[in-house]
Amino acid sequence: GAPGPVLLRNRRSWVWNQFFVIEEYAGPEPVLIGKLHSDVDRGEGRTKYLLTGEGAGTVFVIDEATGNIHVTKSLDREEKAQYVLLAQAVDRASNRPLEPPSEFIIKVQDINDNPPIFPLGPYHATVPEMSNVGTSVIQVTAHDADDPSYGNSAKLVYTVLDGLPFFSVDPQTGVIRTAIPNMDRETQEEFLVVIQAKDMGGHMGGLSGSTTVTVTLSDVNDNPPKFPQSLYQFSVVETAGPGTLVGRLRAQDPDLGDNALMAYSILDGEGSEAFSISTDSQGRDGLLTVRKPLDFETRRSYSFRVEATNTLIDPAYLRRGPFKDVASVRVAVQDAPEPPAFSQAAYHLAVSENKAPGTLVGQVSAADLDSPASPIRYSILPHSDPERCFSIEPEDGTIRTVVPLDREARVWHNLTVLATELDSSAQASRVQVAIQILDENDNAPQLAEPYDTFVCDSAVPGQLIQVIRALDRDEVGNSSRVSLQGPLGPDANFTVRDNRDGSASLLLPSRPAPPRQAPYLVPIELWDWGQPALSSTATVTVSVCRCRPDGSVASCRPEAQLSPAGLSTGALLAIITCVGTLLALVVLFVAL
């Protein structure tokens, strides 16, 4: 740079102006930048100029005789903007100061030697798709190391080099904004924008620097779901149980994340009864599953509609809706080999006891519902009929008796019948068959227990000696009434009175029983009212005893010998005649 007048004398003190040196200036020889001079210097060579301070002797040198200051090398303002030095005039011979030392500054004058830089670049930014024009994306900032207070070396202007027409940048602030509407992420998700910063106010000759901004469009729910096909066809075997997956449906949605979540539903009642649809764990696919058991023979196909709906809908984009779509679904039910099906879940049959072997009990029936149907064969599982009381016709399921059955021995027989397909023995079904044995009047009544009783010798006529009860093993209702009868006639030692409830009262007659040594044996006749009527006879033993006042037995005394039956000879003959007559009637009834 050119030197300038730098030193004035005022009241014998130094007054300094600033020196300037242009940065980056380099010449073949040291460059004169200024001159020191004191008014005590008369030009006689007695004055010597000294220079101390920052860069003295290295960066800056002074001619001791003339005071000329030179810079010895190129300076960079961005490294050091100014130097502070101390100037002094001394006597050359004695080094005595001729003037007090004076401080002065040498400033490095800036030139435009630094391009703008973006210290934070490259940049990454995100802006929602479909944003309005002018939506702020990001602000970029460049720095220029040149002196902002001197000229336009650090005055920056921002421009878009690459990224038009999608984005714009504010020339002064560096704020990047969207420049067009309806930028669609599904069309282009990412943009690389190049921003330039140029100094000198953007004018020609200015230095520039650039940076990249990667702008990503974030997703919004601006796309409704869409099934890629109008009809979906699936098949499922009829044996598939509830919860079995039939198939997957996916409505396509180019949106991302929560904006693409789906909910599926079946619109028609026909499909919702047999099938269910739910959304998978990812929220994208519809899972069609069996809801209730299917039957190929009843229904071979189902047709219904399925709707897919976005679960999250942004009101700002309702105009791009509706955010749902519908597709048709057809599910074909496939036939599967099934075991035979019985006509009833269980069978209840009945047969009378004592019937001859081969008597028909009843029939079970099963059918093969598959197509074509296979013939069925029937059998009785051995463990359910260990006594082999029944047989079954293999071809038609007819059940018959094998032996005569006794209801009093066993009322119920529980059989397990197996139906097997002739074409496939693996296809078999079981059913329970309960056979009830019906009662017939084949048991004569009997005394409920052996009766051996006594009567006090002091008993009064008509006194109750014993209540006699009868028992009939036949089913109640078939012969529920049992009658009892004792000796008849005036010679009877005891009276038997039928109570008409299956019991009789043994009474002491009005005439005292003749004394005897052995107990009395009282004959009792029992008969039922079944068809045919059955009868039997039994004996009740009665001892005549001496009793205490309280009625307890003291001893049973020996008495005079009487008839061994406790009856007169005439009475015994009458009883035998009556029994013979009844037996003759029974034989005659059976013969008929």
Indicate the pairing of strand 446-447 with strand 341-342.
Answer: unpaired
3-state secondary structure at position 250: strand
Total tally of structural domains belonging to the chain: 5
Q: Kindly state whether residues 362 and 379 are assigned to the same domain.
A: yes
H helices present in 129-275, as ranges: 269-274
Q: Domain range spanning residue 503?
A: 446-588
Q: Kindly state whether residues 357 and 309 are assigned to the same domain.
A: no
The Cα–Cα gap between 500 and 481 comes to 8
459 occurs within a structural domain = yes
**What does each C-alpha distance from 412 to 334, 346, 382, 435 come to in angstroms?**
42, 15, 16, 6
3-state secondary structure at position 525: strand
The Cα–Cα gap between 154 and 200 comes to 7
Q: For residue 339, how far is the Cα from the chain centroid?
A: 32
Instruction: Tell me which of 316, 334, 352 is where a domain ends.
Output: 334
* H or E element in which residue 575 lies: helix 569-591
* Residues with Cβ within 8 Å of residue 512, at least 6 apart in sequence: 461
225 occurs within a structural domain = no
The Cα–Cα gap between 31 and 17 comes to 19
Q: Kindly state whether residues 460 and 577 are assigned to the same domain.
A: yes
* pLDDT tens, residue by residue, 234-267: 999 998 999 999 999 999 999 999 999 999 999 9
Assigned token pair, 495: 């009276």
399 occurs within a structural domain = yes
Which CATH number fits the domain that encloses residue 395? 2.60.40.60
Contact of 288 with 248, CB cutoff 8 Å? yes
Which residue reads 């990454």 in tokens? 124
Q: Kindly state whether residues 84 and 149 are assigned to the same domain.
A: no
Which regions of the chain are under pLDDT 50?
1-16, 477-479, 559-574, 586-587, 590
Q: Which residue in 279, 300, 306, 298 sits closest to 236, CA to CA?
A: 300
Position 386 scores a pLDDT of: 95
Contact of 404 with 389, CB cutoff 8 Å? no
137 occurs within a structural domain = yes
Contact of 168 with 160, CB cutoff 8 Å? yes
Contact of 506 with 465, CB cutoff 8 Å? yes
Q: Where are the beta strands (DSSP E) in 39-79?
A: 47-53, 60-62, 68-71
Position 588 scores a pLDDT of: 54
Q: Kindly state whether residues 572 and 476 are assigned to the same domain.
A: yes
Q: For residue 177, how far is the Cα from the chain centroid?
A: 48
Q: In angstroms, how far apart are the furthest CA atoms of the chain?
A: 204
Position 84 scores a pLDDT of: 92
Q: Kindly state whether residues 345 and 330 are assigned to the same domain.
A: no
9 occurs within a structural domain = yes
Q: Kindly state whether residues 457 and 329 are assigned to the same domain.
A: no
Position 425 scores a pLDDT of: 86
* H or E element in which residue 583 lies: helix 569-591
Q: Kindly state whether residues 352 and 328 are assigned to the same domain.
A: no
* H or E element in which residue 79 lies: none
Instruction: Tell me which of 218, 243, 261 is where a domain ends.
Output: 218
* pLDDT tens, residue by residue, 184-198: 999 999 999 999 999
Q: Kindly state whether residues 148 and 204 are assigned to the same domain.
A: yes
- DSSP secondary structure code for residue 351 in this structure: E
Interior/surface letters 347-356, b for 16+ CB within 10 angstroms, e for the rest: bebebebebe
Supply φ then ψ for residue 386, to 5 degrees: -65, -25
226 occurs within a structural domain = no
* Residues with Cβ within 8 Å of residue 346, at least 6 apart in sequence: 431, 432, 433, 434
Q: Kindly state whether residues 24 and 101 are assigned to the same domain.
A: yes
Q: Kindly state whether residues 189 and 300 are assigned to the same domain.
A: no
Which residue reads 């597709």 in tokens? 327
Instruction: Tell me which of 334, 366, 390 is where a domain ends.
Output: 334
265 occurs within a structural domain = yes
Q: Kindly state whether residues 542 and 452 are assigned to the same domain.
A: yes
pTM score, two decimals? Answer: 0.50
Interior/surface letters 5-40, b for 16+ CB within 10 angstroms, e for the rest: ebbeeeeeebebeebbbbbebeeeeebebbbbbbee
224 occurs within a structural domain = no
Interior/surface letters 515-526, b for 16+ CB within 10 angstroms, e for the rest: ebeebbebbbbb
